[in-house]
Amino acid sequence: MKVQSKNILQMVTAYPLSKSMEDIQQELGLSRIRNLSEIENVFGCSEQVKHHLMNSLEYLYTYPDGSAKILTSKLADFLEINPDHLFIGNGSDEIIRLLIKAYLNTEDEAIMAQITFPRYKTNVTIEGGNPVLVPLKNGVHDLEGMFAAITEKTKIIFVCNPNNPTGTIVDSKTLARFIDQVPDHILIVLDEAYYEYATSPGYLQSLPLLKIYSNLVILRTFSKVYGLAGLRIGYGLMDSSIKTELTKVKEVFNVNKMAQEAAIAALEDQKFRNDCVARNEEGRLFLEEELTALGYTFFPTQANFLMIHMNENADQIRDELLKFGILVRSGSVLGYPESIRVTIGSMEDNQHFIQSLKIAAKCR
């Protein structure tokens, strides 16, 4: 008889990892693939980061600082907050997991949108909690519905803003009211992985709310606009009492040395970040205009990706685009079987994507 894993794991499937670019390239005999499926920073990372990392290599033999003291202090200065309110994680992914591990008892409920970042649901399930899924309204979090879903068992509410995979934001006034109304024994986790890309005046600037609401946690990351996804580093802003609890459940050396060094250097190159935001904005406007001219609709995005409604089988469209060397994410795995999620690329990528879409449409 085989050793049995925990019963709860029968309800969990592993995150579906994509094939490597090399494998896809080889299979299809393509010389180049533009990967617009993963929501990475298509502009890479700052040259200053690369330079700084080269100089840090000789310290690889030492353990990283388990409290990420230097980065915490620099980031706290940058954000103008108290370092006690800042927790550095192995990607914001880790912080999501730690929050659930530290706060969710078996049978507790966690409210989240039905279509959102999947790691909330997976981790809640693994910890023996019950995910309560509230459908989006036109691709946007239904905060009224989420508020109505609160019961005496509710422990955590996740709001992904901008939401992955739709890219939509919740209007700032509605979100501020929601945060105010949620009882303070419930943790509100505001996932702002795409914060830097959100340029709309209707986007809530949540940082000042930390001083008012001790149950509010804001998650951000170095994976997206800073282009450090491969190093795994993100951060959470929270009341110091929450940080204390997370510190109890984290691995001692949760964030590796190179990631800490890279994040320090990345913070110092705000020009790179601002350029990426500006280029993303330019790409978004270009794609929106071109797609509208072609008759496609899409969710209004405030992130570096776009969910486009194709009104056709999304897997088929993904496969057709791949023949042109463009990899997009089929909405069939995201809850929208007739839509595709596309990372906003460089201008060259965006033009190539639109051209390929046009040719593919003509061939059908």
Ligand X SMILES: Cc1ncc(COP(=O)(O)O)c(C=O)c1O
CB 131 within 8 A of CB 184: no
CB 348 within 8 A of CB 33: no
Shortest spacing between CB 234 and ligand X, in angstroms? 3
Integer Cα distance of 226 and 270 in angstroms: 9
Q: Which residues contact 22 (CB under 8 A, 6 or more apart)?
A: none
C-alpha separations of 94 from 221, 234, 304 in Å = 11, 8, 22
* Contact set for ligand X, span 98-137 (CB under 6 A): 117
Query: Is the CB of 257 or the CB of 352 nearer to ligand X?
Result: 257
Integer Cα distance of 128 and 131 in angstroms: 10
Select the span of 85-93, 124-132, 135-143, 179-187 touching ligand X (CB under 6 A). 85-93
Select the span of 86-94, 97-105, 126-134, 166-174 touching ligand X (CB under 6 A). 86-94
Query: Is the CB of 159 or the CB of 265 nearer to ligand X?
Result: 159
- Burial readout 8-17 (b: 16 or more C-beta within 10 A, e: otherwise): eeeeeeeeee
Shortest spacing between CB 219 and ligand X, in angstroms? 7
Strand partners, 329: 341
Among 93, 127, 239, 261, binds ligand X (CB under 6 A): 93
Select the span of 80-88, 89-97, 125-133, 353-361 touching ligand X (CB under 6 A). 89-97
Shortest spacing between CB 12 and ligand X, in angstroms? 18
Query: Is the CB of 190 or the CB of 210 nearer to ligand X?
Result: 190
- Burial readout 203-229 (b: 16 or more C-beta within 10 A, e: otherwise): bbebbebbeeeebbbbbbbbbbbbbbb
Task: Tell me, by CB under 6 A, how many residues bind ligand X.
Answer: 13
Among 98, 156, 190, 193, binds ligand X (CB under 6 A): 193
Query: Is the CB of 191 or the CB of 349 nearer to ligand X?
Result: 191
Shortest spacing between CB 359 and ligand X, in angstroms? 30
Integer Cα distance of 194 and 337 in angstroms: 24
Query: Is the CB of 160 or the CB of 187 nearer to ligand X?
Result: 160
State yes or no: residue 92 binds ligand X (CB under 6 A).
yes
* Contact set for ligand X, span 212-251 (CB under 6 A): 221, 223, 229, 234
Shortest spacing between CB 38 and ligand X, in angstroms? 8
C-alpha separations of 287 from 112, 281, 294, 323, 337 in Å = 29, 10, 10, 20, 21
Of 128, 74, 99, the C-alpha closest to 262 is 74
- Helices vs. strands in the chain: H and E counts, helices first: 12, 13
Shortest spacing between CB 319 and ligand X, in angstroms? 23
CB 159 within 8 A of CB 190: yes
* Contact set for ligand X, span 141-170 (CB under 6 A): 160, 164
Query: Is the CB of 68 or the CB of 160 nearer to ligand X?
Result: 160
* Contact set for ligand X, span 249-268 (CB under 6 A): none
Q: Which two tokens stand for residue 128?
A: 């023996």
DSSP code at position 300: -
Shortest spacing between CB 3 and ligand X, in angstroms? 30
Query: Is the CB of 216 or the CB of 229 nearer to ligand X?
Result: 229
Among 83, 91, 227, 331, binds ligand X (CB under 6 A): 91
* Contact set for ligand X, span 173-192 (CB under 6 A): 191
Q: Which residues contact 278 (CB under 8 A, 6 or more apart)?
A: none
Select the span of 29-37, 87-95, 131-139, 205-213 touching ligand X (CB under 6 A). 87-95
Among 36, 39, 204, 322, binds ligand X (CB under 6 A): 39
DSSP code at position 280: H
Q: Which two tokens stand for residue 311?
A: 């009104």
Q: Which two tokens stand for residue 280?
A: 């993303």
Integer Cα distance of 233 and 88 in angstroms: 7
Shortest spacing between CB 35 and ligand X, in angstroms? 14
The site for ligand X (CB under 6 A) is made up of 39, 91-93, 117, 160, 164, 191, 193, 221, 223, 229, 234
